[in-house]
């Protein structure tokens, strides 16, 4: 963790409603944490190394709260299917390939290198049921310096025999062995308990995972209320539950005293939303995936207005791209369609709100992350928008907006995580 100064045009979120824009300013990092943003560099920092990025934009690193690393290899395929058909046709056959470590080496190498070049500095990631391949993924991400949670997936029912754990006891033994082998092995990557979703996990497996969560003090990630067919399935499997979220709650896997991410929440009703708020569950809003798999449009505006904890996610390969820039544009566009076609009471998302979810909102899952406020961990992305030519003068905020809508990994000119320069 270093101490240094960056100079450029600095942008971060004060709140979901407000950006903080500091043109031609200085951003100070001390021992891996932000000290502050200054229009003129205070004398006490004059001895720190200074990198002058000139007119470039300096943004907080972005957090992808939900994506599937083994699905990266088939992104862009099957986008004319709904969720359950897509899982059986594409996802499960692909994920079964990760029992072959040679294949996993090639596929995860491609995934990790793409993630490194993106605006993402932190991520919560699903792997597969295969322990050796999951450890390989953790190794690759750690070597690149990205801060990540990676989950060995659990599933022992309602999946093909070729992608189903042999038994509940074996699944729990494999999961515990993986936890013990990885929880202190890596500097930047940590394990997270990952039941794929309740339909793929028997009751005894869910209760067993809850015991492991308590024993090793681990976070949890899964899926919630993504699709109407999935929700109907939950009513059959968990008839005593008030809703999908309550089913996780009854298994002891829905936050409260520990961090928990639930992806999608497209069709979460008022009671489910209230339970998420009460338990501090993070919602991983996955707008492109929700559209691609015809799941619907989540009321993310309401989540924000009601004070729920919301971050943004690419959900590769339901989402076709690992770019958080695209995730922001998809979030805004989807919210406009919901406002126009479904619910005129929910105003469309703004640039400010989308940027907040991509940075400070999702970053909160990792702690004080996603902002340049003093005391926050120093994650930063330097963006060079000179490729995006324009004949008119633009403000710094307008340039940010253009990068969000028009940019990609080519605009990423530098990346820092916890005060470490990755490139």
At 358-387, the pLDDT tens digits run 999 999 999 999 999 999 999 999 999 999
How do residues 319-345 score in pLDDT, each as one tens digit? 999 999 999 999 999 999 999 999 999
Task: Give the residue among 292, 288, 222 at the shortest CA–CA distance from 255.
Answer: 222
Q: Strand 260-264 and strand 220-224: pairing?
A: parallel
Average pLDDT for 276-295 = 97
Helix (H) or strand (E) segment spanning residue 66: strand 62-68
| Cα distance between residue 128 and residue 194, in whole Å | 9
**What's the average model confidence in pLDDT over 132-159?**
98
* Tokens at 109, concatenated: 């190498």
Measured distance CA(361)–CA(15) in Å, rounded: 9
Question: What integer pLDDT is reported at residue 244 of this predicted model?
Answer: 98
For tokens 């539950």, what's the residue? Answer: 241
Q: What pLDDT, in 10s, does the model give residues 190-243? A: 999 999 999 999 999 999 999 999 999 999 999 999 999 999 999 999 999 999
What is the arithmetic mean of pLDDT over 303-312? 97
Instruction: In whole angstroms, give the CA distance from residue 68 to residue 95.
Output: 10
Contacts of 83 (CB under 8 A, 6+ apart): 226, 227, 229, 230, 293, 294, 295, 318
pLDDT score, position 242: 97
Taking CA atoms, 62 is separated from 184, 378, 388, 416, in Å, by 24, 12, 21, 11
**What is the mean predicted confidence (pLDDT) over 272-288?**
98
The answer to whether the CB of 158 falls within 8 A of the CB of 134 is no
Continuous segment of H or E residues that includes residue 393: none
Percent composition of the chain: helix, strand, coil (DSSP 3-state, to 5): 40, 25, 35
Q: Which residues pair with 6 in a beta bridge?
A: 27, 51
* Mean pLDDT value across residues 289-310: 96
pLDDT score at 413: 98
Question: According to DSSP H, which parts of 183-312 are helical?
Answer: 203-216, 228-237, 244-250, 270-279, 287-292, 300-305
Domains (range + CATH), the chain: 4-61+371-421 (2.30.40.10), 62-366 (3.20.20.140)
| φ, ψ at 127 (rounded to 5°) | -105, -130
The residue among 348, 274, 366, 285 whose CA lies nearest residue 319 is 285
The answer to whether residue 171 scores a pLDDT higher than 80 is yes
Answer whether 131's CB lies under 8 Å from 178's CB: yes
- Structure tokens belonging to residue 162: 């070729």
What pLDDT, on the 0 to 100 scale, is given for residue 123? 98
Mean pLDDT of the chain: 97
pLDDT in tens, 99-141: 999 999 999 999 999 999 999 999 999 999 999 999 999 999 9
Query: If you ran DSSP here, which 8-state letter would residue 377 be given?
Result: B
pLDDT at 312: 98
State the pLDDT at residue 113. 97
Phi/psi of residue 215, nearest 5 degrees: -65, -40
In this prediction, residue 1 has a pLDDT band, given cuts at 50, 70 and 90, of confident
């Amino acid at each position: 963790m270093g101490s240094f100064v960056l100079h450029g045009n600095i942008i971060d979120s004060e709140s979901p409603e407000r950006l903080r824009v500091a043109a031609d300013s200085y951003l100070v990092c001390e021992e891996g944490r932000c000290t502050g943003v200054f229009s003129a560099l205070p004398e006490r920092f004059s001895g720190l190394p200074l990198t002058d990025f000139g007119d470039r934009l300096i943004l907080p690193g972005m957090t992808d709260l939900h994506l599937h690393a083994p699905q990266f290899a088939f992104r862009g395929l099957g986008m004319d299917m709904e969720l359950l058909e897509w899982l059986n046709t594409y996802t499960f056959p692909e994920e079964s390939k990760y029992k072959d470590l040679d294949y996993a080496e090639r596929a995860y190498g491609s995934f990790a290198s793409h993630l490194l070049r993106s605006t993402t500095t932190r991520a919560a990631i699903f792997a597969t049921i295969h322990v050796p391949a999951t450890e390989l993924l953790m190794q690759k991400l750690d070597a690149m310096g990205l801060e990540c949670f990676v989950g060995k997936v659990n599933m022992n029912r309602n999946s093909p025999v070729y992608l189903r754990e042999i038994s509940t006891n074996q699944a729990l033994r494999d999961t515990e062995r993986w936890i013990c082998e990885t929880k202190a092995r890596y500097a930047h990557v940590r394990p997270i308990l990952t039941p794929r979703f309740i339909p793929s996990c028997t009751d005894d497996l869910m209760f067993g995972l809850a015991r492991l969560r308590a024993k090793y003090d681990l976070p949890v990630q899964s899926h919630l209320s993504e699709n109407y067919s999935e929700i109907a399935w939950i009513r059959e499997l968990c008839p005593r539950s008030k809703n999908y979220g309550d089913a996780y709650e009854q298994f002891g896997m829905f936050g409260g005293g520990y961090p928990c991410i639930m992806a999608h929440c497209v069709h979460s009703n008022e009671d489910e939303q209230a339970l998420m708020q009460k338990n501090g569950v993070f919602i991983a809003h996955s707008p492109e995936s929700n559209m691609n798999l015809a799941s619907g449009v989540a009321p993310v505006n309401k989540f924000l207005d009601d004070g729920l904890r919301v971050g943004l996610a690419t959900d590769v390969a339901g989402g076709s791209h690992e770019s958080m820039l695209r995730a922001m544009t998809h979030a805004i566009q989807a919210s406009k369609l919901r406002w126009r076609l479904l619910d005129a009471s929910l105003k469309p998302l703004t640039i400010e709100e989308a940027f907040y979810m991509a940075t400070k909102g999702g970053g909160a899952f990792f702690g004080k992350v996603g902002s340049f406020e003093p005391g926050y961990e120093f994650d930063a992305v330097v963006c060079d928008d000179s490729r995006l030519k324009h004949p008119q003068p633009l403000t710094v905020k307008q340039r940010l907006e253009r990068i969000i809508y028009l940019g990609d990994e080519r605009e990423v000119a530098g990346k820092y995580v916890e005060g470490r320069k990755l490139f």
